[in-house]
Structure 1
Amino acid sequence: MKTRTLTAALLSVSVLGAGNFAVAQQTAPTTPSTGAPASPTTPASPGAPAAPMAAESKLDGKDRDFIENAAQSGHMEVEGSKMALEKSQNPEVKKFAQQMIDDHGKAGQKLAALAKSKGVDVPTDPSLMQQAKLKTLGMRDDGFDEAYAEGVGVSAHEDAVKLFEQASNEVKDPELKQFATETLPTLQQHLQMAKTLEQSVKNAKPK
């Protein structure tokens, strides 16, 4: 009887010891790994600027149309005036043509830079209709001066003045509106010069 009691007591002690050992294993702190630590992920700084993106146009449709039409108008003036320098023998025509090349060339460069800053590509040629008119003008020998003064001088500048007057009132982009407003007086001056030239050329025709 005593032997059974002693045996039971020893078994109880063994079970309790094993249980405590298991609990000790579960609660023991994990030993840090001796390998290379993982690289921590650095969160993005909330104040850091985003990577720059390509310029994207946010211009109104009418503003974009103005850029296109103004650029094409300028190209017509320049190309027609270069033609006049080659074909005309009239000093007044040549003088007017050179001024058109200079003034419209500068305005075109300014417009192109402004358009680029707003993500818009400008045309590099006149419109198809304007190209057809220039082709017809280039085929003229007799009467070239009068055709140039009327077509590239008066008619084209009447269209340009209307275009820039409308843009001065309707364009929404402030910088583009300023360009139209500042360029308009020069175009109006060109128109008056063209009318004077046209009359002078007509008077110079042999009767």
Structure 2
Amino acid sequence: MPNFKILSTGLVAIALSLATGCTPTAQQDQNTSETPSAQPVQTTESPSPTPSPTVSPTASGQNTLSSSDRQFMNEAAQGGLAEVQLGQLASQRGASNAVKQFAQRMVQDHTQVNNQLKQLATQKGVTLPTSIDSTHQQVQQRLSKLSGTNFDREYMNEMLKDHEKDVSAFQTEAQQGQDPDVKALAAQALPTLQEHLQQARSIVNPGSSTSTPAPTSTP
């Protein structure tokens, strides 16, 4: 009888050792099988910051105009606004049909050039003036007090001086401007301004119209 007790206790000890020896390996297998599952989650977040650099070059590349090109655009916009407002005034106060027709053309043509300037200004990041300056305001106030032939004479004299300056400025920009888009706009508008100048000369000095032929007068 004592021998059976010794054997039974020995068998129980062996069985316990075998049972406890299997559990850690199973736990280790579970731990090793669980660890790689958490790693791929981090790899999906890495490509997100790549699209950001494509936004900055377009904004910074707009402000590349030279000071002379900017000055030309500002002065052209300022003069164009004045031509439109004075033309609207002349359409109401002008006495002769020739002056009224000239004024209507000023409104039409300079509105078109002004719109082209606005579109180009948005592309180049330039803020153009939206109202006439003090010099043109004084001219407008002076003309608004006149009527009849006095208005016609003063208005056309102003148009003659303004378009002499306009033609010179647009011609200089078309030849010496640095930005190709601004140069192209100046070259495109120049023939129209030259027609305005010749038409103004023919109204102010009717006899001089035959001495200066206008090759661009047939659009």
Same fold (TM over 0.5): yes
Task: Give the distance between the partners of 2:72 and 2:47, measured in 1 at CA.
Answer: 42
Aligned residue identity for 1:60: S
**Bigger relative contact order, structure 1 or 2 (CA pairs below 8 A, ≥6 apart):** 1
More moved, 164-173 vs 29-38: 29-38
For residues 152-191 of structure 1, what are the alpha-carbon distances to aligned partners after superposition, in whole Å with 9 as ceiling and x for unaligned?
Answer: x201101111111111122111011011111111111100
Look up the match of 1:52: 55
Question: Residues 58 and 184 from structure 1, CA distance in 2 versus in 1: closer, same or farther, beyond 3 angstroms?
Answer: same
Task: Give the distance between the partners of 2:99 and 2:173, measured in 1 at CA.
Answer: 30
Pick the aligned partner of 1:43 from 29, 46, 53: 46
Task: Find the residue that maps to 1:50 and give its secondary structure.
Answer: helix
Aligned residue identity for 2:170: F
1:120 matches 2:126? yes
Aligned residue identity for 1:148: Y
Q: CA deviation at 1:46?
A: 9.3
1:145 matches 2:152? yes
Task: Give the distance between the partners of 1:147 and 1:198, measured in 2 at CA.
Answer: 10
Listed as ranges, the gaps of 5+ residues in structure 2 are 1-27, 207-219
Question: Residues 33 and 49 from structure 1, CA distance in 2 versus in 1: closer, same or farther, beyond 3 angstroms?
Answer: closer
More moved, 187-196 vs 116-125: 116-125
Pick the aligned partner of 1:171 from 174, 177, 194: 177
1:80 matches 2:86? yes
For residues 60-80 of structure 1, what are the alpha-carbon distances to aligned partners after superposition, in whole Å with 9 as ceiling and x for unaligned?
Answer: 111111100000111111110
For the 8 Å contact 2:95–2:147, the answer to whether it is kept is: no
> TM-score by structure 1 length?
0.74
**Percent of aligned pairs sharing the same letter:** 32
Q: CA deviation at 1:134?
A: 1.6
Aligned residue identity for 1:117: Q
Aligned residue identity for 2:55: P
Look up the match of 1:157: 163
Q: CA deviation at 1:98?
A: 0.4
Task: Give the distance between the partners of 1:44 and 1:131, measured in 2 at CA.
Answer: 58
1:106 matches 2:112? yes
Pick the aligned partner of 1:183 from 189, 195, 199: 189
Aligned residue identity for 1:171: G
Question: Which structure's residues are more often helix, by fraction?
Answer: 2
Aligned residue identity for 2:157: E
Say what the alpha-carbon RMSD is for the aligned residues.
3.0
Listed as ranges, the gaps of 5+ residues in structure 1 are 1-27, 201-207
Task: Find the residue that maps to 2:63 and give its secondary structure.
Answer: coil
For residues 73-92 of structure 1, what are the alpha-carbon distances to aligned partners after superposition, in whole Å with 9 as ceiling and x for unaligned?
Answer: 11111110100011113111
Task: Give the distance between the partners of 2:74 and 2:203, measured in 1 at CA.
Answer: 28
Matched length: 175
